[in-house]
Structure 1
Amino acid sequence: MREVVLYHLMSLDGVAYEEPGDWLADEGDHLIDCLGQVIATQDDVLLGRGTYDYWVGHWPVSDFEPFATFINSVRKHVVTSSELTSTWTNTVVAHAPAVDYVTDLKQRPGGDIGVHGSLHLARSLMGAGLIDRMRLVVAPAVVGQGRRVFEAEDVVRSWTLSGVEQGRSGTLFLDYVRR
């Protein structure tokens, strides 16, 4: 069965890195290498509607590699209840409820299924027990304000740390698998 892999950048206090800011330390090649490892195994990506609408205006013209080439060519499954107003190569609209859609997608042949951004969708899949692995990049900063990757109402799950690296600025690259 395919794995659903949540990849997220966050602060020590769990604030999601959604917009460029000064609190994510520059880890240079280490950050790029980590991202490259994560996306190398993915051939489908799940996006919420808000992330899709934001990314469709950015990534098709971006030169930030390796993510630009990856996200522009990978199958993108957009969980939404309405029709998309902008088109992007290899985009599929997931009209079924997210849990049903992802449960079915996991049964199909293929590589990992990535969840990048899309906090609401990520939390919904986490609550349903559909996230199999978390690849978290934790910046050495306490931000205080902002949307969080995990919220108080998220279902408690047990995870096993399967890998950890530390960047030169203190950023942690954590790999967790679901127990």
Structure 2
Amino acid sequence: MRKLITGMKISLDGKMEGPEGYADWVDAWSEEYGLMPQIDACLLGSAMYAGYERYWTAIQNEPDKPLPMTGKLPTPAELEWARFAEQTPHYVLSNTMTSALWPKTRFVRTFDDIAALKQQPGKDIYLMGGAQLAASLIDAGLADELRLIVYPLLAGDGKALFGAIQNRRGLELRKVEQLMDGRVSLVYGIG
């Protein structure tokens, strides 16, 4: 069975967004969890998908221009993810969406659809978010692994990654790695 692996970038106090509605402490949105070799599909919630599609399409269309959302040039790792994302099926959990710009985007309607997706042959699935979807899939027992990159700051007000978790879950620490700039990568199995 395929694993559903979620990866999130958070502050030390567990926030995935600051009070402005985004993680202003994250310099680049490249995939830093080491997932690309082991995944062949991505899963997102409908609220996150529109901004995700817009961000990565901008990089795909004009890789040498500053991004309208950040004013910065894409990093080499962001360029790599943009190429990967363009070729990788993306599943969006939505009851209302029926179309997307990316031709490899498909829609799933229920958690049963996600469970069925995990049963299909293939590599693992990257659960990109958002926080509510990740929490709901952890509560439903459908998420198998949690990969976090923890930034060395206390964000204070903002959206907590685990604020919507309803059920207590045990986690099994699988890997710890110190990254540049005081960040830490943590990998947990979800029990």
Which TM-score tier does this pair reach, normalised by the shorter chain? 0.7 to 0.9
Q: Is 2:54 the partner of 1:51?
A: no
Determine the structure 2 residue equivalent to 1:74: 88
SS for the counterpart of 1:58 is: helix
Q: Distance in 2 between matches of 1:12 and 1:20?
A: 12
- Please, which runs of 5 or more residues in structure 1 have no aligned partner? none
1:122-144 Cα offsets, whole Å, 9 max, x none, are 11101101110111000011001
- Corresponding residue SS for 1:67: helix
- Could you list the per-position Cα deviations for residues 104-161 of structure 1 after superposition, in whole angstroms to 9, with x for gaps in the alignment? 1111101111111322211110110111011100001100122121016431111111
Normalising by structure 1, report the TM-score. 0.86
- 1:41 maps to 38
> Closer, same or farther in 2 for the Cα pair 1:151/1:86, shift >3 Å?
same
- Per the TM alignment, residue 85 of structure 1 is displaced from its structure 2 partner at its CA by 5.1
**Moved beyond 3 Å, runs of 4+:** 17-20, 31-35
Work out whether 1:156 is the aligned partner of 2:168: yes
Q: Are the aligned partners of 2:145 and 2:187 in contact in 1 as well (CA < 8 Å)?
A: yes
Q: Output the TM-score relative to the length of structure 2.
A: 0.81
Question: Is the alpha carbon distance of 1:33 and 1:131 closer, same or farther for their aligned partners in structure 2, counting shifts above 3 Å?
Answer: closer
Aligned mates of 2:113, 2:100 — CA distance in 1: 22
- Gapped runs of 5+ residues in structure 2? 64-77
Matching residue of 2:135: 123
Percent identity of paired positions between Structure 1 and Structure 2: 30
Contact 1:38-1:135 at 8 Å conserved across structures:
no
RMSD: 2.1
Q: How far, CA to CA, are the matches of 2:129 and 2:122 in structure 1? A: 21
Count of aligned positions: 171
2:72 is matched with none
Which residue matches 2:146? Answer: 134
Instruction: Go from structure 1 to structure 2 and tell me whether the alpha carbon gap of 1:138 and 1:89 turns closer, same or farther (over 3 Å shift).
Output: same
Distance 1:13 1:110, change over 3 A: same
